[in-house]
Structure 1
Amino acid sequence: MKNKPIITGSILCMIASVSWGAMFPVAHIALQQIDPFYFSFLRYFFVTVILCGLLWIKEGFSAFRLEGRVKALVFFGTMAFTVYNMGVFLGQHLMGEAGTIAASIMEVLMPMISILLLSVTTKKLPPSYTWTSIAIALVGALLVITKGSLAFFATASEQVFPLLLIFAGVVGWVVYSLGGGHFSNWSTLRYSTLTCLLGTAVSFVIVTIGSLFQWIPVPSWESMMSVKYEMAFMVLFPGLAALLSWNAGIKALTPLNGILFINLVPITTLIMMSFQGYEISMFECYGTLLVIFALIRNNHFQRKQLGHRAAAREKGKRSISSIPY
């Protein structure tokens, strides 16, 4: 059945996106009881244990060899499982309820951030339609963050730091995603497991030093048990299922098609927040729709450009084949 990979890939990308969308409202509840640093570390500590078990069963102990690539693995692992986790959740916590939707919107900006990072590393500017899409997405993000109120700028100094933390975290995950290309000869599970293991080790060092100097409050056993259901969700769905589902879904659909499912992230977040009693303003809805529109618009023009290139290549092949020898 020709459509089976498409259906399977779509379901997998949907599971990942909905899980990530639900992640921020669930995290908001947990962060009322436990420090963001400990929350981030404990979450991926459990994910690491599960991933290590899966890698050992599937590929054996030989898959745990670092093959002299320790620095790269530590760097990419730190970007994803330390910078992303701690930056996003600390920023979300500092912003309060508004941080939940702000973090979700930043997640949707990942494809645009990826394009900008690639343009810097390859020294190749993106096409004009991408710049327009980025501008539209930024306007949408600004509407969500400010809720359409100029009063935001009066207290901007209080919000800039949390927003920068969330942004830095999102950039960290983009760097990690791009880093996968340096390990193309490794399985997705192996790259995910070893980077998660080393990134979580870095988080452990940060949490330990912070606790020793009393910069980070150590959660009590009661506090940790009070968020056991939220932690279980964060580990099993956004942490494990989403990571593996997304990678498998992207492989089945191609990044160009799979990335469209990221639009489900803020939609899921808004639905969950409304159930939690949060009053969503029209500006937050409009801003979310603008960001989604920008992503779909950019994707549409990318497809058009790829179609023109494919047609040009086909035309070139026909011209060559028509030359008499």
Structure 2
Amino acid sequence: MTSSRLWPAVLLLLITTWSWGGMFPVAKPMLDILDPFFMTLIRFSLTALGLLLILFCVEGRKAFSFEGRLLKLLFLGTLGFACFNLLAFNGLVHSKPEHGAVIMATQPMIAVLLTWVMRGLKPGAFTLGTILVAFAGVFLVITGGDIERAFGGGKIIWDLLFFVGAMFWVAYTLGAQSFHTWSPLRYTAITAGLGCFSIALISFGLTAAGMLSIPDWNTLVELRWSLAYLVIPAGIMGVLFWNIGIKKLGPINGVLFINFVPVSAFTIGVVQGRSFSAEEVIGAILVMSALIANNLYVRARMKRSTGDDDQSQRNNEQPANRATARPDNA
């Protein structure tokens, strides 16, 4: 594929990761006014509606069939949209946006570990080493390198909500492999809609129990532009652009762009006047460096494996060619 055809995909992935990096800084002040449950419900109700509308226009009514797998889709949608977002935004109430962005960037590493646990596919020693480096970076970011703070019952519990939420999102992403005949748009739109059903049950259940209150119209009007950001750039556009970019560049290249999520979050934090400790910056650099190093390692292994296969094929072809070749004096 020529570079002129690659650049649009690169641009789409850059837009996506920068918009995702801005999601937590934008949402943080909203949580002083709107609880994370109804913020998540409003955001994904509108996002799911937009995705389902696009799905109808692109693939038609037939794409709305559950094909007898409603419960599995509901389970995956609950993991990806209800569990992930409710945990992440509840954690954000008491944590920093940049912490969430760094933890989200470890998703490729979490995917490796979950694949190992669920399918027995043990990663290589180098990959395990980069995972340890990445998690050490996360440790620095959320604790400042203070071990007493890490295990002293402080705010780290809220950062752990981000991490558990990221695990749920990775499990949801891996679940897409069970629907390999579906387009990414169809899988995302259907599970987003079903995930919203779970979010609504949780939110209105807590409201009925007196633990939450439904936001009034004035609150929504006050937050309209922030909600629009969460729904359009960080929601509908983000999902679509990510799927298109990954399809064009492939997952090995595309996953590198997840590094721009913490870069975006820290950049926005600086613009907003926040300061960061040396440990936070070093930790973020460790996470991104580990991701890049493992990506280069996987790329080199794939290239070497392809080269070995090509050489083996040539070796197998040579005897056959000699056997079928006509003698010079024939």
Shorter-normalised TM range: over 0.9
8 Å contact from structure 2 (residues 140, 280) kept in 1: yes
Pick from 208, 211, 229 the counterpart of residue 204 of structure 2.
Answer: 208
For 2:223, the equivalent position in structure 1 comes to: 227
Scaled by the length of structure 2, what TM-score is found? 0.94
For 1:153, the equivalent position in structure 2 comes to: 150
Other structure's SS at 2:153 match: helix
8 Å contact from structure 1 (residues 33, 226) kept in 2: no
Matches within 5 A, 1:108-147: 108-147=105-144
Once residues 317 and 183 of structure 1 are traced to their aligned partners in structure 2, the CA distance between those partners, rounded to angstroms, is 33
For 2:328, the equivalent position in structure 1 comes to: none
For 1:257, the equivalent position in structure 2 comes to: 253
Other structure's SS at 1:301 match: helix
CA offsets per residue over residues 12-53 of structure 1, 9 Å max, x none? 111111011011100112111100011111100001111121
Pick from 181, 189, 192 the counterpart of residue 193 of structure 1.
Answer: 189
CA offsets per residue over residues 170-211 of structure 1, 9 Å max, x none? 111111111111111112211111100000011001011000
1:57 aligns with 2:54: no
1:266 aligns with 2:262: yes
Scaled by the length of structure 1, what TM-score is found? 0.95
Once residues 112 and 250 of structure 1 are traced to their aligned partners in structure 2, the CA distance between those partners, rounded to angstroms, is 18
8 Å contact from structure 1 (residues 48, 197) kept in 2: yes
CA offsets per residue over residues 91-114 of structure 1, 9 Å max, x none? 11122xx3x111101111000000
The number of equivalent residue pairs is 321
Pick from 139, 162, 165 the counterpart of residue 158 of structure 2.
Answer: 162
Q: What's the Cα RMSD here?
A: 1.4
CA offsets per residue over residues 240-259 of structure 1, 9 Å max, x none? 11111111101100100011
For 1:19, the equivalent position in structure 2 comes to: 19
% identical aligned pairs: 32
- Shifted more, 213-222 versus 310-319: the winner is 213-222
- Shifted more, 174-183 versus 40-49: the winner is 174-183
> Structure 2: which 5+ residue stretches go unaligned?
324-330
8 Å contact from structure 2 (residues 142, 156) kept in 1: no
**What displacement does 1:160 show?**
3.9
2:198 counterpart letter in structure 1: V
Change (3 A) 1:153 1:57: closer
2:65 counterpart letter in structure 1: R
Once residues 175 and 264 of structure 2 are traced to their aligned partners in structure 1, the CA distance between those partners, rounded to angstroms, is 28
Max radius of gyration: which structure? 2
**What displacement does 1:150 show?**
4.7
- Shifted more, 238-247 versus 162-171: the winner is 162-171
For 1:281, the equivalent position in structure 2 comes to: 277
1:135 counterpart letter in structure 2: L
2:41 counterpart letter in structure 1: F
Once residues 254 and 82 of structure 1 are traced to their aligned partners in structure 2, the CA distance between those partners, rounded to angstroms, is 28
Other structure's SS at 1:250 match: helix
Other structure's SS at 2:154 match: helix
For 2:326, the equivalent position in structure 1 comes to: none
For 2:85, the equivalent position in structure 1 comes to: 85
CA offsets per residue over residues 197-252 of structure 1, 9 Å max, x none? 00001100101100000122322222222211100000001111111111110110
Pick from 170, 177, 188 the counterpart of residue 181 of structure 1.
Answer: 177
For 2:46, the equivalent position in structure 1 comes to: 46
1:308 aligns with 2:289: no
Other structure's SS at 1:322 match: helix
Other structure's SS at 1:185 match: coil
CA offsets per residue over residues 265-306 of structure 1, 9 Å max, x none? 001100101111211112111111110000001011101111
8 Å contact from structure 1 (residues 5, 253) kept in 2: no
> Structure 1: which 5+ residue stretches go unaligned?
none
Once residues 261 and 52 of structure 2 are traced to their aligned partners in structure 1, the CA distance between those partners, rounded to angstroms, is 28
For 2:239, the equivalent position in structure 1 comes to: 243
